Structure formats: structure tokens, C-alpha cells
């Protein structure tokens, strides 16, 4: 395959999909390439899911600017793209006088960054809203513009809107090379063929430095930092929190927090472990890590119900050698645009990063905004949230909505089939899970997993042995003729 595109985006996480969404507003051909079979398979699927207010990043940094702008943009995008966001606000809690001084510093920094509504509240005021937090909390910084979200859903919404506006998403499409001539980008070589292009936007997460070197730019490095989490059953929320509760930050990050999700669960984490550069894809959880998370989370909320834990997971953050986001044209290769080092607050910053990078590219290509640009994306049915009459009407229209596949979350076959056939449809078991919540309940897919696998095989018209859990080689079943089997 050889094809042409005006712009190629490398990386299908929140940053890459937001960039594709922004590109799709212009009269140009944009293609996103992602090496895994699902979008958002890296850091985007395993982070704290918080839309930060913007008081933490150093004033004047790209992190600070993009955070505050991105937060404001999400307030508008929520309705336009039907994003799963709850504007909960957030607290940074202090338990010592020294930490109270840190809150004053954060308040002043946030005000300098342009964050609205910040104020310091007393411990009693925090406990009035969050009765389960520690009696030792002396006060907290309250940020009303912060929120919680479903990161995979945000990335998927960006990608779906882009696709219905003419952009293309290529998955299972690993980049193998970048062709340059006389110091300028000419093409991207992938496992699916060559894409001739004038611009490449490097949004490859923890692998962004490797992609940059393929084009001849080795001006920065990305170092992996792993963070582990524990997720609790929905029944635990009454014993925990409604809003994100942070400790005062350290040089390693925002610290181990206690936070609700938009789906009604609660999690604690992450810790911060600097990893060797060979371990960029190491998302294993550890017993010492779990113990560390619980110990520090209990300083904020003493009554952590360990028995309600349903899963543990980890994500790897892309820490840049510059200490800030790396955004803009490469100084070495013409046509190479960097969106690298996107650690926290990258999720919040994504739409602002996209606008910042795309506007000059569109100007260089003399691309006008599309007159027929379509806002939004196809509605996604959620059977369990419908009124009885609407459920009956949906079943009458399509009987598959009458068959419950996931009992924990009441997810129907109709919803799973819809998830597979959406503009950027599910291709794996975890892809179905993150689009529908099938497998996210108490049993973690023990009941519905085999049934979801069967539906995927049927709808994708592939053998059941070709169905994958999530990643390129994570096949659900052993097949001695094609592989050694079962790599997770």
C-alpha cells in the first residue's frame, strides 16, 4: 500500500486523537497511525482521569498554559461530543503547617496561571463535603474548575468525530521508518505500507523519542515513570470520596490520591517509580507498590475498604528530558512536529495542544476550515440508563438489546455489537470493555468475557483464536499453528 496524506499523526492516545479531531476541521487529508489494535492503549487508558484546574504547573511553562486552556475547552466540548465528564472540583489537602504553606504557594501559582475560583478552605469545610477524609487534614486548596472523566471515552470521541469528517485511523499499524529528503519529511513507512506526506506529528507517548530519532532528530529523551493504582467496587464509594483528594505535591508528581470515577467506582494511586528506559511498556503491578499506595492513601482517607478492591493496574508516564511538554516544529527536520513528553496534565491539555499545533500546519498548507464540518458523533446507547418504556422500544427494534451479556454492569448484546461497528469500532475484548463497561464490574469479566469473545469473532468474521484481549500479541486462546499462544 502506498497512499498520500497531508498530515500523519503517530500515536492514538488522547493527544494524537485530539490532534486528529482538530485536523479534521480543515480541508486536508489526515491519517492517524497506531501500532496497537485499539486506541488509547498506553498512558491514556491508565491514568488518574482528572481534568486538572491548572495550579500545579510552573507559571510560564507549556504545561501551565495548555492545562488552563484545555480545561476551558473541555467545558465546551463536553456537550458537543457527549463526553463523560463530571465537574466535581478537587482538593489538595494539607496535614501539617508546612503543607499549609505549600497550599499558599499553589494558590498564588494558580492565580498567576489564570485558574479561576481557587481558594483555601479549612479542614472542617473539607469534611463537611467529604466526611470520610482524615480528621488530621488542617486545610485544603479547593479548585472548582477541576473534574473527573473517562479518558478512553474522550480519545474515542475525538477519533470518531474526526473519522466522520473524513480523517482516517489505521490500527495495527506500527511505524517502521520516516523517510526524509534534504532535511524534510517525505513519507512514513508502516507495517501496512508507505504514507507519503509533508507533515508528521509525533504523539507517540513513551516512544516519542524513538519516533523522533527515526526522522533524524535526537534532541530529547523520554524516560518512563510507572504509576500503580487500586480500583474499588462501586459499593465502596459511600466509604470514600466524591471529589479528587490530593496530598500536597512533590517533585515526583501530584502524589497518591483518592478519587471517584465517573462510573461510580473509587481508586487510590498512583505511586511514582522511575523505570529503566528499556521498560517503557512495563505495566506490571507489585506488592510493594500496592502497600505503598494503601499506606499513603490512608493518610487522606483512613477507612480504605481493601476488601472491596476489584483490580489493580499501572500506567507509564512519558517524562521528558526537558521537564516540560515538547511542542512544535523540530529544529532539525522540516515537517516533523513534536507533541512529546505529554505527562500530567496531558489529558487536560490535549485539546489545547491540538489547537496550538494544528493552526500553523493548516496555515502552511493553506487549508481552509471545512464548510461542511459535522459536530458531534453517533449516539451510543446505554441500555441500563433508559426508562422501562425506552428499553422495551429498543428491544422491539433490535432484539439483541434484550440479551444481557454482562450481568455486573447490565450490558446487552446490542450495545456490544454497536461498539464493534462504530466509526472507530472495538477490535478486542478490552476495546469492548472500555466502550461499554462489559467486564468492568465485580467479577471483572469472569462471566461475560467468553461471550464477548464469541461476539467479536462473529461480528469481525474472524476465528475465535484470533480474538485479542487488547494488545498486538495478547491473543485470548492458544493456537499452536499460528503462535506460541496467550501472550498478555
Question: Under a CB-based contact definition with an 8 Å cutoff, are residues 289 and 271 in contact?
Answer: yes
3-state secondary structure the chain: CEEECCEEEECCCHHHHHHHHHHCCECCCEEEECCCCCCCCCHHHCCCCEECCCCCCCCCCHHHHHHHHHHHHHHHHHHHCCCCEECCCEEEEECCHHHHHHHHHHHHHHHHHCCCCCEEEEHHHHHHHCCCCCCCCCEEEEECCCEEECHHHHHHHHHHHHHHCCCEEECCCCEEEEEEECCEEEEEEECCEEEECCEEEECCHHHHHHHHHHCCCCCCCEEEEEEEEEEECHHHHHHCCCCCEECCCECCECCCEEEECCCCCEEEECCCEECCCCCCCCCCCCHHHHHHHHHHHCCCCCCCCHHHEEEEEEEEEEEECCCCCEEEECCCCECEEEEECCCCCHHHHHHHHHHHHHHHHHHHCCCCECCCCCCCCCCCCCHHHCCHHHHHHHHHHCHHHHCEEECCCCEEHHHHHHHHCCCCCCCEHHHHHHHHCCCCCCCCCCCCHHHHHHHHHHHHCCCHHHCECCCCCCECCCCCCCCCCCCC
Question: Under a CB-based contact definition with an 8 Å cutoff, are residues 222 and 320 in contact?
Answer: yes
| C-alpha cell read off for 108 | 498564588
CA distance 294 to 97: 24
Closest to 282 in 3D by CA, of 230, 228, 321: 228
Which of 52, 75, 207, 421 is labelled catalytic? 52
- For 127, phi then psi, to 5°, come to -65, -25
| C-alpha cell read off for 201 | 506529528
CA distance 212 to 219: 8
CA distance 215 to 232: 43
Quick check: is 421 catalytic? no
Nearest-10 Cα torsion for 64, 16, 316, 453: 140
| C-alpha cell read off for 210 | 524513538
Known catalytic residues? 52
Amino acid at each position: 500500500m502506498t497512499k498520500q496524506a497531508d498530515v500523519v499523526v503517530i500515536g492514538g492516545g488522547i493527544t494524537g486523537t485530539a490532534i486528529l479531531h482538530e485536523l479534521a476541521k480543515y480541508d486536508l487529508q489526515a491519517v492517524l497511525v497506531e501500532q496497537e489494535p485499539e486506541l488509547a492503549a498506553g498512558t491514556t487508558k491508565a491514568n488518574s482521569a482528572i481534568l486538572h484546574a491548572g495550579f500545579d504547573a510552573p507559571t510560564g511553562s507549556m504545561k501551565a498554559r495548555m492545562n488552563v486552556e484545555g480545561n476551558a475547552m473541555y467545558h465546551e466540548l463536553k456537550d458537543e461530543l457527549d463526553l463523560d465528564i463530571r465537574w466535581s472540583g478537587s482538593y489538595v489537602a494539607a496535614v501539617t503547617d508546612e503543607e499549609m504553606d505549600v497550599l499558599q504557594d499553589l494558590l498564588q501559582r494558580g492565580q498567576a496561571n489564570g485558574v479561576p475560583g481557587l481558594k483555601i478552605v479549612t479542614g472542617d469545610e473539607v469534611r463537611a463535603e467529604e466526611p470520610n477524609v482524615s480528621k488530621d487534614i488542617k486545610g485544603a486548596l479547593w479548585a472548582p474548575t477541576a473534574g473527573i472523566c473517562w479518558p478512553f471515552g474522550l480519545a474515542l470521541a475525538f477519533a470518531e468525530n474526526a473519522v466522520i469528517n473524513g480523517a482516517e485511523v489505521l490500527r495495527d499499524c506500527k511505524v517502521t521508518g520516516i523517510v526524509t529528503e534534504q532535511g524534510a519529511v517525505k513519507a512514513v513507512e508502516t507495517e501496512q505500507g508507505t504514507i507519503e506526506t509533508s507533515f508528521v506529528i509525533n504523539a507517540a507517548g513513551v516512544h516519542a523519542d524513538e519516533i523522533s530519532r527515526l526522522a533524524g532528530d535526537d534532541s530529547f529523551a523520554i524516560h518512563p515513570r510507572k504509576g500503580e493504582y487500586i480500583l474499588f467496587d462501586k459499593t465502596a464509594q459511600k466509604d470514600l470520596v466524591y471529589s479528587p483528594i490530593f496530598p500536597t505535591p512533590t517533585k515526583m508528581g501530584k502524589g497518591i490520591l483518592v478519587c471517584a470515577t465517573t462510573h461510580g467506582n473509587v481508586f487510590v494511586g498512583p505511586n511514582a517509580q522511575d523505570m529503566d528506559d528499556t521498560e517503557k511498556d512495563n505495566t506490571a503491578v507489585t506488592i510493594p507498590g500496592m502497600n505503598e499506595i494503601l499506606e499513603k492513601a490512608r493518610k487522606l482517607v483512613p477507612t480504605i475498604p481493601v476488601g472491596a478492591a476489584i483490580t489493580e493496574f499501572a500506567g507509564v508516564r512519558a517524562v521528558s528530558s526537558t521537564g516540560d511538554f515538547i511542542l512544535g516544529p523540530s529544529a532539525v527536520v522540516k515537517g516533523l512536529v513534536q507533541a512529546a513528553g505529554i505527562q500530567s496534565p496531558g489529558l487536560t491539555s490535549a485539546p489545547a495542544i491540538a489547537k496550538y499545533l494544528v493552526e500553523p500546519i493548516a496555515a502552511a498548507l493553506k487549508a481552509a476550515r471545512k464548510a461542511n464540518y459535522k459536530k458531534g458523533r453517533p449516539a451510543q446507547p446505554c441500555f441500563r440508563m433508559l426508562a422501562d418504556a425506552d428499553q422495551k422500544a429498543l428491544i422491539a427494534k433490535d432484539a439483541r438489546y434484550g440479551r444481557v451479556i454482562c450481568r455486573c454492569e447490565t450490558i446487552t448484546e446490542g450495545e456490544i455489537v454497536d461498539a464493534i461497528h462504530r466509526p472507530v469500532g472495538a477490535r478486542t475484548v478490552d476495546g469492548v470493555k472500555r466502550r461499554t463497561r462489559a467486564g468492568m464490574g465485580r467479577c471483572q469479566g469472569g462471566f461475560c468475557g467468553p461471550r464477548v469473545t464469541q461476539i467479536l469473532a462473529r461480528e469481525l468474521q474472524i476465528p475465535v483464536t484470533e480474538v485479542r484481549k487488547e494488545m498486538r500479541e495478547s491473543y485470548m486462546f492458544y493456537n499452536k499453528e499460528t503462535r506460541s499462544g496467550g501472550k498478555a
